[in-house]
Structure 1
Amino acid sequence: MTRFRPCIDLHNGKVKQIVGGTLTDDGVGLRTNFESEHPAEYYSALYRSDGLRGGHLIKLGPGNDEAARAALTAYPGGLQIGGGITLENAAVWLIAGASHVIVTSYLFDEKGHFRPERLQSLIAEVGADRIVIDLSCRRERSGWQVAMNRWTQPTDLWLTPANLRALAGACAELLVHAADVEGQQGGIDEELVHHLGEHAPLPVTYAGGASELADLALVDALSAGRVDLSIGSALDIFGGNKVRYSDCVAWNATRSELPSP
């Protein structure tokens, strides 16, 4: 059944909630919903105390390594880490305490062409069971197109049933941000959630647009319980006023008899 998955997004060493697709190298057009007064390790310690596993810790650009290491130290083995993950540093972050590495842009060349040999090299380095593939995407007329480089550059990889099946043996999980609705609290992409629940043959965490506690039940229904939900900007711990973090913890507690992700 669908679980709530926590998150920590880091930008310039601070915990923030940023509207999807507005983060660029020059910072022009950046839209920030929230910047926390608490350090990253505050949140990872909170998740640890509440028994929440499988959350994602994302480094949005440079200047976040120190904060990321502090968060992993506060909750060793409890968080996945993404943002700038490559063959050269993946094992380093696992040693630092991440349960999995989340990889996106490394799997593509500068023109956005998928490079499966890079994925195979990463598997040889750390093992498929320690890899989460981030297939964050944008909706197009013909489906959902994976986007890289902070969701600003389209790739030639689409979330087709065949591609989802092909990636199933190459990683432990998938992470899918719906970049068009991420951070806007305007509702989830229901068609995408249903698509993932129907066609993804491995665990998936969906993020983007969640605005109320009832979205957990909605994702559960749309995906037949096969997709988990991450909630960010709407949460009270991230400055939101629509979803109480304590209610999300309680939701997971009702599913405590199920295996942890």
Structure 2
Amino acid sequence: MRFRPCIDIHNGRVKQIVGSSLRDEGDSAKDNFVSEQDGAFYADLYRRYGLSGGHVIILNPVGSEHYEADLEQARRALGTFSGGLQLGGGVTPDNAQMFLEMGASQVIVTSYVFKDGRANMERLEKLTALVGKEHLTLDLSCKKTPDGEYFVVTDRWQKMTELRFCEETLEKLSGCCAEFLVHAADVEGKQHGIEEEVARICGSSPIPCTYAGGIASMEDIELLRKCGGGKVDFTVGSALDLFGGKLSFEELAGIK
């Protein structure tokens, strides 16, 4: 279990947002924190602390008026910590290699591998063949349905798919990628505690898995350790002191 830092980019700025508020229409989101620093600043900090495996996430869709500014922020971050950060946000076979050449250790994909709400194994296998399993992280961020089950969401957490987030899904998809990234989208950015069931399912993963969403205290991190059997890595956004929160970056950087 270790800390995986993040650099979230929206409207050309490094930000922390409330995940459930993100909308493509109007490029809108509820901001928790907007940084005066650029992506390279955070990438250099993570590099100096030896925190590899973090995530750079582009939150605007391709075609947004802000996408090129997002891309420039990502380029600076990846160039500053080459091989130390993963890149997600609009990844397809058309741009995956470009992101790897920018310096990403892995590309993070979700929306591309879903069609009409269903996982498209042909698309996933195509991307795996293109970049190599070792360079692919599959984003299985999820939301809870009224009947209490979790389903994968795509398109910046705005579309519910038909793929259930469960142990069987992790087992089935583990052969196509190197890691999973899972945002508990219902609590993302709200700092109200973790989704314990999501953390428990993450703990069943046969490959490395990173949990994100709701962490606000060291108690939440210990609960994640318990739920995930000590195997689940984690990321902290809005609650981190780097982004206006109270959790110490230096303390989390020491968790191995």
Give me the TM-score of the superposition, normalised by structure 2: 0.94
Partners of 1:157 and 1:178 in 2: CA distance? 15
Query: Would you say how many aligned residue pairs link Structure 1 and Structure 2?
Result: 248
Task: Choose from 128, 135, 144 the match for 1:139.
Answer: 144
- Tell me, what secondary structure is at the counterpart of 2:77? helix
- Tell me, what secondary structure is at the counterpart of 1:216? helix
Partners of 1:125 and 1:88 in 2: CA distance? 10
Q: Once superposed, what is the RMSD of the aligned Cα atoms? A: 1.2
- Tell me, what secondary structure is at the counterpart of 1:77? coil
Partners of 2:148 and 2:80 in 1: CA distance? 43
Q: Which residue of 2 aligns with 1:245?
A: 249
Matched, 1:128 2:133: yes
Determine what percentage of the aligned residue pairs are the same residue: 48
Q: CA 1:211–1:97 in 2, change beyond 3 Å: closer, same or farther?
A: same
Q: How does 1:141-156 map to 2 (within 5 A)?
A: 141-156=147-162
Partners of 2:104 and 2:89 in 1: CA distance? 13
List per-residue Cα deviations over 1:123-156 (Å, max 9, x = no partner). Answer: 1101111100000000122421000111010011
Shift of 1:221: 1.6
| Amino acid in the other structure paired with 1:210 | I
List per-residue Cα deviations over 1:151-197 (Å, max 9, x = no partner). Answer: 01001111122211111110000000000000000000012101221
Give me the TM-score of the superposition, normalised by structure 1: 0.92
| Amino acid in the other structure paired with 2:151 | Q
Partners of 2:80 and 2:215 in 1: CA distance? 27
Partners of 1:132 and 1:95 in 2: CA distance? 16
Q: Which residue of 1 aligns with 2:31?
A: 32
Task: Choose from 205, 211, 234 the match for 2:210.
Answer: 205
| Amino acid in the other structure paired with 2:240 | L
Q: Which residue of 1 aligns with 2:55?
A: 56
| Amino acid in the other structure paired with 2:160 | P
Q: Which residue of 1 aligns with 2:64?
A: none
1:4–1:216 contact (8 Å) kept in structure 2: no
List per-residue Cα deviations over 1:21-51 (Å, max 9, x = no partner). Answer: 2111223762110000000100000000001
Q: Which residue of 2 aligns with 1:114?
A: 119
Task: Choose from 164, 168, 187 the match for 2:193.
Answer: 187
Q: Which residue of 2 aligns with 1:259?
A: none
Q: Which residue of 2 aligns with 1:235?
A: 240
Q: Which residue of 2 aligns with 1:93?
A: 99
2:11–2:27 contact (8 Å) kept in structure 1: no
- Tell me, what secondary structure is at the counterpart of 1:206? strand
| Amino acid in the other structure paired with 2:181 | L
Task: Choose from 140, 162, 167 the match for 2:173.
Answer: 167
Shift of 1:246: 1.1
Q: How does 1:62-73 map to 2 (within 5 A)?
A: 62-63=67-68, 64-73=70-79
Q: Which residue of 1 aligns with 2:84?
A: 78
With 212-221 and 166-175 compared, the bigger mean Cα shift is at 212-221
Runs of 4+ with deviation above 3 angstroms: none
With 158-167 and 44-53 compared, the bigger mean Cα shift is at 158-167
1:90–1:126 contact (8 Å) kept in structure 2: yes
